[in-house]
A and B are shown apart, each in its own frame.
Chain A
Amino acid sequence: MQAALGPPRSLIPGAWIIARREIRDQMRDWRILVPIVGLTLFFPALMNFTARQAVDFVGRYDAPIIAERLIPFLLMVVGFFPISISLVIALESFAGERERLSLEPLLATPLSDAQLYLGKMAASLLPPLGAAYLGIGVYLFGLWRGLGWTAPAPLLVQILLLTTAQAVVMVCGAVVISSQTTSVRAANLLASFIIVPVSQLIIGESLIMFWGRYTVLWFIVAALLLVAVVLTRVGLHLFNRQELLAREIDVLDLRWLGRTLWAEFRSGASTPWAWYGGVLRRTLPSLWPALLLMVLALAAAFVVGVRLAPQFVLPLDPTQLNSLPQTITLQLQRFGLMSAEGWWWILRHNMSALALATVLGTFSFGVAAVILLMAPTAIVGYLAGSLAMAGQNAGLFLAALVLPHAVLEVPATLLAGAAVIRLGLAAVSLPRGTSLGESWLTALAEWARAGLGLVLPLLVGAALLEVFVTPRIAVLLLGG
């Protein structure tokens, strides 16, 4: 048998084979070339003209600050417009190949998944990014010629990094979408998940630039690069030759969804006791790493809350605090405590908060859920800090008003947060050979098992304690 040939073993040369072909192909497609050339040459020239007119105009009214802010803003816009094309190219990367039926020969080659994936990413990224840099160059050259204005080096570095980071994020997201859809049409429809957040980001960046807080842009660059790394990891995890060839990938199979979810939720148990045993034996141990993260997050939130107290001083009225022992029972009743209605209200409120955290966490790799769940702890920390600053015994207040029901509520928050983190990370950490749908359904079933088996009973108990026990302890300790 003859010796087998193979592709380059290292990642970059292999990926470059894919990227080079696609870039060459793009350079033959007028639908890509025309906007790139237009946005590289014509648009920067137009922005240049706009900037010069604006400088002239505001100069007449002695308001140079507007021009000072406008010129860097237009620099960002000039960089952003060409990279918007990268989204179109990236959305087409896998879905287009699948539509043209050219994907299978590519998948049959010995290139690794990472080489194929990164090659596609690079092909989507490099031409628009090159056009963006060229456009920035054209714009800056025009400003230098016309106004003698040169960009400060930190601003230029910032805009170049921002442009690059935005392009990487859009391409990473679009390649993930493209690899999970069977047609360019479907990919375009799903692109709103990228377009809407990026639009919001651009609006935010614009406000920051007009506000003149350029330092904040560094944080945005760092956050975008982090998101890009996470999205690349998601894409590499999701890249699956089988999924790419599966024709039914877009089809919503509710029966399969229902069956899979129910099977995962039951996890083979035939009785409620066996199911609960499974929750304790399997679900709970699987949450440990995320639980640890939640413990650290809540502890950090408390510390942040305490440290914010001196910065944002709470105007506590000492006379009101001193009269608390006399009025505490009335105050607690006013909040609906010590009544069945109060119990239901608290339980419903806590469940709503966790539901919101789940929704937010699902679409943010768990990050938004953790931030949301940190907020109450930060507020408690802030109040404790404020009370201490007002010369009160913060420990006593915490022991009286928080600790009794926190004994159950905090574990419930930790468990719920951990389950949402795992749900949010389902796309990042799916096992090999598992589809995104299967991985997400498994995480959702795990979330439901933890929610029903652990979180809900703790929340019910916590609400009962908060309504019927905490007030009594508060009266006992603070009632004078």
Chain B
Amino acid sequence: MDTVIETRRLTKRFGSFTAVAEVSLQVNSGEVLVLLGPNGAGKTTTTRMLASILPPSEGEARVAGFDVVTQAAEVRRRIGLLTEHHGLYTRMRAGEYLAFFGSMYGLAEDEARRRGQDLLEQVGMPDVIHRRLGEFSKGMRQKLALVRALLHDPPVLLLDEPTSAMDPASARLVRDSILELRSSRRTLVVTTHNLAEAEQLADRLAIICQGAIAAQGSVQELKRLHVGPPIMELRAAGPLDGALRSLPADLKMVAAGPDWVRYQADAPAQANPRVLAAMAMAGVPVVTLSEVGRSLEAVYLKVVGSPAPRGEE
């Protein structure tokens, strides 16, 4: 897979304050990287550096093959940025607004309106192109901002807190739209402090804390690394009693009840068939066998702890 975004020891200082410290990331084509961290962790600053809006103080970053400092215009052509605040011009109509942004990417007005209409349909707002933006709800505005970011069909999307300060229904609408954007050719970097959102969207997750990357990997990898191997729970139709003795000896049981048992499985693909076979041999009907949910919150709190509040990003 191609590496689309690569940063090496990316650092940003504002005076004596270090907002981002030596962040090294690699995001491949078609991948969704979620930058997860508390407010003021350096997520927005990192995004702005990737968008070639802020120059790094140290380190380097390449986006879509271009250096964010020396080839800033090339980078900006290839990214779509959804800012935390939609920043729409409320006196404009949706079509007019999209044509304006399209023209900045060299799109003719008709073409921008056509693409805009297609994208509006994709995000579930097919009839708004002639409406004034001032009439839009918060969720609609954020979705329109998403359409703005997608208008020039950028290979890289940077979504900064796309659902922050939105009501659950609007947030879900926007999240669903983002999920639909996942494709093999588009790379997404999403910043959020919403754990459920991070888990839902991320192919890979980077937890950023006090400007530095504290942990990164897939959600499963992070869980395994920070809260141990998966825990499986088996529930039977009746009492387990002696059946527990027939379970493989190398299986580490962590808890048990009259008709259920939990065990740690380093490799569930190998362990689970052996457990099911043992139950069948013991004549115990199995109702369910599932992984016990280990929350990302546990990982997050273990990695981040409760950091002292810092200045705003």
- Contact yes or no, A111 B55, CB < 8 A: no
- Contact yes or no, A6 B105, CB < 8 A: yes
Range of interface residues on chain B? Answer: 35 or more
- Contact yes or no, A6 B73, CB < 8 A: yes
Q: Mark contacts of A245-266 with chain B using CB atoms, 8 A cut-off: 1 yes-contact digit, 0 otherwise.
A: 1111000010010000000000
- Contact yes or no, A111 B104, CB < 8 A: yes
- Contact yes or no, B312 A17, CB < 8 A: no
Q: Does B77 contact A (CB under 8 A)?
A: yes
Task: List the one stretch of B83-91, B120-128, B256-264 in contact with chain A.
Answer: B83-91
Q: Smallest Cβ distance from A375 to chain B, in angstroms? A: 41
Assembly CA distance A6 to B103 (angstroms): 9
- Contact yes or no, B81 A104, CB < 8 A: yes
- Contact yes or no, A108 B51, CB < 8 A: yes
Which chain B residues lie closer than 8 Å to A480 at the CB level?
none
Known interface pairs A105-B81, A105-B145, A108-B76. Does A242 touch B53 (Cβ–Cβ under 8 Å)? yes
Which chain A residues lie closer than 8 Å to B103 at the CB level?
7, 17
Q: Which of A29, A102, A242 is the one whose CB lies under 8 Å from B87?
A: A102
Assembly CA distance A297 to B73 (angstroms): 43
- Contact yes or no, B104 A110, CB < 8 A: yes
- Contact yes or no, A101 B85, CB < 8 A: yes
Q: Does B74 contact A (CB under 8 A)?
A: yes
Q: Does A21 contact B (CB under 8 A)?
A: yes
Q: Smallest Cβ distance from B262 to chain A, in angstroms? A: 47
Which chain A residues lie closer than 8 Å to B91 at the CB level?
25, 28-29
Q: Smallest Cβ distance from A424 to chain B, in angstroms? A: 25
Assembly CA distance A245 to B14 (angstroms): 12
Assembly CA distance A110 to B52 (angstroms): 10
Assembly CA distance A246 to B313 (angstroms): 9
Known interface pairs A29-B91, A105-B87. Does A110 touch B81 (Cβ–Cβ under 8 Å)? no
**Looking at A7, A105, A256, which has the most chain B CB atoms within 10 Å of its CB?**
A105
- Contact yes or no, A433 B105, CB < 8 A: no
- Contact yes or no, B78 A104, CB < 8 A: no
Assembly CA distance A108 to B54 (angstroms): 10
Within 8 A of A (CB), among B40-80: 48, 51-55, 64-65, 73-74, 76-79
Q: Does A293 contact B (CB under 8 A)?
A: no
Assembly CA distance A109 to B73 (angstroms): 8
**Looking at A5, A102, A241, A242, which has the most chain B CB atoms within 10 Å of its CB?**
A5
Q: Mark contacts of A452-474 with chain B using CB atoms, 8 A cut-off: 1 yes-contact digit, 0 otherwise.
A: 00000000000000000000000
Q: Does A330 contact B (CB under 8 A)?
A: no
Which chain A residues lie closer than 8 Å to B2 at the CB level?
1
Q: Smallest Cβ distance from A442 to chain B, in angstroms? A: 15
- Contact yes or no, B77 A6, CB < 8 A: yes
Which chain A residues lie closer than 8 Å to B54 at the CB level?
241-242, 245
Assembly CA distance A5 to B79 (angstroms): 10
Which chain A residues lie closer than 8 Å to B185 at the CB level?
1-2
- Contact yes or no, B73 A112, CB < 8 A: yes
Q: Which of B79, B86, B96, B153 is the one whose CB lies under 8 Å from A2?
A: B153
Which residue from chain B places its CB closest to the CB of A18 in the assembled complex? B104
Q: Which of A29, A105, A253, A433 is the one whose CB lies under 8 Å from B148?
A: A105
Which chain A residues lie closer than 8 Å to B86 at the CB level?
101
Which chain A residues lie closer than 8 Å to B105 at the CB level?
5-7, 109-110
Known interface pairs A248-B14, A256-B16. Does A17 touch B87 (Cβ–Cβ under 8 Å)? no
- Contact yes or no, B155 A1, CB < 8 A: yes
Which chain A residues lie closer than 8 Å to B52 at the CB level?
108
Q: Does B92 contact A (CB under 8 A)?
A: yes
Q: Does A380 contact B (CB under 8 A)?
A: no
Assembly CA distance A2 to B150 (angstroms): 13
Q: Smallest Cβ distance from A119 to chain B, in angstroms? A: 10
Assembly CA distance A247 to B14 (angstroms): 11
Known interface pairs A110-B104, A242-B54. Does A105 touch B83 (Cβ–Cβ under 8 Å)? yes
Q: Does A308 contact B (CB under 8 A)?
A: no
- Contact yes or no, B89 A256, CB < 8 A: no
- Contact yes or no, A25 B89, CB < 8 A: yes
Which chain A residues lie closer than 8 Å to B78 at the CB level?
1, 4
Q: Does B15 contact A (CB under 8 A)?
A: yes
Assembly CA distance A270 to B103 (angstroms): 56
Which chain A residues lie closer than 8 Å to B29 at the CB level?
1
Which residue from chain A places its CB closest to the CB of B102 in the assembled complex? A5
Q: Mark contacts of A23-47 with chain B using CB atoms, 8 A cut-off: 1 yes-contact digit, 0 otherwise.
A: 0110011000000000000000000
Q: Does B107 contact A (CB under 8 A)?
A: yes
- Contact yes or no, A7 B106, CB < 8 A: yes
- Contact yes or no, A21 B100, CB < 8 A: yes
Q: Does A389 contact B (CB under 8 A)?
A: no
Q: Main SS of chain A's interface residues? A: loop
Interface size of A in residues (CB-CB distance below 8 Å): 36
Which residue from chain B places its CB closest to the CB of A247 in the assembled complex? B312
Which residue from chain A places its CB closest to the CB of B92 in the assembled complex? A25
Within 8 A of B (CB), among A78-137: 100-112
Q: Does B113 contact A (CB under 8 A)?
A: no
**Looking at A14, A21, A25, which has the most chain B CB atoms within 10 Å of its CB?**
A21
Q: Smallest Cβ distance from B303 to chain A, in angstroms? A: 28
Assembly CA distance A7 to B104 (angstroms): 5
Which chain A residues lie closer than 8 Å to B87 at the CB level?
100-106
- Contact yes or no, A109 B104, CB < 8 A: yes
Which residue from chain A places its CB closest to the CB of B4 in the assembled complex? A1
Q: Does A146 contact B (CB under 8 A)?
A: no
Within 8 A of A (CB), among B208-261: none
Assembly CA distance A256 to B96 (angstroms): 45
Q: Does A318 contact B (CB under 8 A)?
A: no
Which residue from chain A places its CB closest to the CB of B2 in the assembled complex? A1
- Contact yes or no, A5 B312, CB < 8 A: no
Q: Smallest Cβ distance from B128 to chain A, in angstroms? A: 18
- Contact yes or no, A110 B83, CB < 8 A: no
Q: Smallest Cβ distance from B157 to chain A, in angstroms? A: 12
Which chain A residues lie closer than 8 Å to B77 at the CB level?
4-6, 110
Known interface pairs A17-B100, A21-B100. Does A102 touch B81 (Cβ–Cβ under 8 Å)? no
Assembly CA distance A112 to B52 (angstroms): 12
Q: Which of B53, B83, B145, B312 is the one whose CB lies under 8 Å from A241?
A: B53
Q: Does A8 contact B (CB under 8 A)?
A: yes
Q: Which of B64, B79, B104 is the one whose CB lies under 8 Å from A17?
A: B104
Which chain B residues lie closer than 8 Å to A242 at the CB level?
53-55
- Contact yes or no, A104 B14, CB < 8 A: no
- In order of increasing CB-CB distance, the 4 nearest A-B pairs are A102-B87, A101-B85, A4-B77, A108-B81
Q: List 30 A-B contacts (CB under 8 A).
A: A1-B64, A2-B155, A2-B185, A4-B77, A4-B155, A5-B107, A6-B77, A6-B106, A7-B103, A8-B106, A17-B103, A28-B91, A29-B91, A101-B86, A104-B48, A104-B53, A104-B85, A104-B87, A105-B81, A105-B101, A108-B79, A108-B83, A109-B76, A110-B73, A110-B77, A110-B105, A241-B53, A241-B54, A242-B54, A245-B54
Chain A residues proximal to chain B, CB less than 8 Å? 1-2, 4-8, 14, 17, 21, 24-25, 28-29, 100-112, 241-242, 245-248, 253, 256, 433
Chain B residues proximal to chain A, CB less than 8 Å? 2, 4, 14-16, 29, 48, 51-55, 64-65, 73-74, 76-79, 81, 83, 85-89, 91-92, 96, 100-101, 103-107, 145, 148, 152-155, 185, 312
